[in-house]
Amino acid sequence: MPHHSIVADVGGTNTRVAISQDGSVLPDSIRKFANADHDSLTAILRMYCADNDTVEFEQVAVAIAGPVRDGQGSLTNLDWTIDCAALSDATGASDAHVLNDLQAQAHAVGRLDAKFVEEIRPGSVASPEAAHLVVGIGTGFNSAVAYHAPGGRLVPPAESGHATLPVCSEDQFAFAQYAQERFGHAAIEDALSGRGLGHCHDWLRHVAGQPTGTKSAQIFAEAEAGDAMAKQAIDLFSRFLGTVLGDLTLTSLPFGGVYLVGGMSRAIAPWLGQTGFEAAWQDKGRFGPFLDQFPIRLVTDDYAALTGCAGFLEEFRIAH
Summarize pLDDT for 6-27 with one digit per residue, the tens. 999 999 889 999 999 999 999 9
Predicted confidence band at 77 (pLDDT cuts at 50, 70, 90)?
A: confident
Give Cα separations from 137 to 52, 241, 281 (angstroms): 34, 10, 17
Looking at the structure, tell me whether residues 281 and 204 fall in a common domain.
yes
> How do beta strands 59-64 and 81-83 pair?
unpaired
Domain count for the chain? 2
Looking at the structure, tell me whether residues 105 and 167 fall in a common domain.
no
Q: Which residue, among 110, 121, 102, has the nearest Cα to 291 in the 3D structure?
A: 121
Predicted confidence band at 76 (pLDDT cuts at 50, 70, 90)?
A: confident
What pLDDT does 151 receive?
Answer: 80
Does 160 have pLDDT greater than 90?
A: yes
How many C-beta neighbours within 10 Å does residue 125 have?
9
Question: Which amino acid type is present at position 51?
Answer: D
Looking at the structure, tell me whether residues 108 and 232 fall in a common domain.
no
Percentage of residues of the chain with pLDDT beyond 90: 93
Does 119 have pLDDT greater than 90?
A: yes
Least confident interval from 30-34, 61-65, 120-124, 148-152: 148-152
Looking at the structure, tell me whether residues 169 and 279 fall in a common domain.
yes
What pLDDT does 250 receive?
Answer: 98
Mean pLDDT for all residues in the chain: 96
Find out whether 309 and 20 touch, Cβ atoms under 8 Å: yes
CA 55 vs. chain centroid, Å, equals: 31
| Residue 149, C-beta contacts closer than 8 angstroms, at least 6 positions apart | none
pTM for the model stands at: 0.95
Looking at the structure, tell me whether residues 241 and 284 fall in a common domain.
yes
What pLDDT does 150 receive?
Answer: 84
Percentage of residues of the chain with pLDDT beyond 70: 100
Does 307 have pLDDT greater than 90?
A: yes
Q: Which residue, among 68, 95, 272, has the nearest Cα to 281 in the 3D structure?
A: 272
When pLDDT is averaged across residues 51-74 and rounded to a whole number, the result is: 94
Predicted confidence band at 84 (pLDDT cuts at 50, 70, 90)?
A: very high
When pLDDT is averaged across residues 58-74 and rounded to a whole number, the result is: 94
Predicted confidence band at 110 (pLDDT cuts at 50, 70, 90)?
A: very high
Does 240 have pLDDT greater than 90?
A: yes
Give a yes or no: residue 131 inside a domain: no
Looking at the structure, tell me whether residues 311 and 265 fall in a common domain.
no
Does 300 have pLDDT greater than 90?
A: yes
Looking at the structure, tell me whether residues 31 and 103 fall in a common domain.
yes
Looking at the structure, tell me whether residues 109 and 183 fall in a common domain.
no
> CATH number of the domain that 64 lies in?
3.30.420.40
Residue range of the domain that includes 36: 4-113+301-319
pLDDT digits (tens, 9 = 90+) for 252-277: 999 999 999 999 999 999 999 999 99
> CATH number of the domain that 292 lies in?
3.40.367.20
Return the CA Rg of the chain.
20
